[in-house]
Amino acid sequence: MKSAVITFPGSNCDRDMAVAIELVSGTAPVRVWHGDSALPDGLDFIALPGGFSYGDYLRSGAMAANSPIMRDVISAAERGVPVLGVCNGFQVLTEARLLPGALMRNAQQTFICRTADLTVENAQSLFTAQYSAGQNIAIPVAHHDGNYFADETTLDRLEGDGRVAFRYADNVNGSQRAIAGVLNAAGNVLGMMPHPERAVEDAHGNTDGRALFEGVLNALAPA
Q: What is the pLDDT of residues 53-77, one digit of tens each?
A: 998 888 899 999 999 999 999 999 9
- Residue 223 pLDDT class (50, 70, 90 cuts): low
Q: Residue 24 corresponds to which amino acid?
A: V
Question: CB of 44 within 8 A of CB of 17?
Answer: no
Q: What pTM was computed for the model?
A: 0.96
Q: What is the pLDDT of residues 118-165, one digit of tens each?
A: 999 999 999 999 999 999 999 999 999 999 999 999 999 999 999 999
Question: CB of 164 within 8 A of CB of 190?
Answer: no
In the chain, the domains with their CATH numbers are 3-220 (3.40.50.880)
Question: CB of 135 within 8 A of CB of 121?
Answer: no
Q: Which one is catalytic: 34, 143, 144, 195?
A: 195
197 counts as catalytic:
yes
195 counts as catalytic:
yes
Distance (Å, rounded) from C-alpha 65 to C-alpha 70? 6
Question: How many C-beta atoms surround the C-beta of residue 58 within 10 A?
Answer: 10
Q: Which one is catalytic: 87, 95, 143, 144?
A: 87
Q: How distant, in Å, are the alpha carbons of 5, 43, 82, 184, 189 from that of 34?
A: 10, 16, 18, 22, 19
144 counts as catalytic:
no
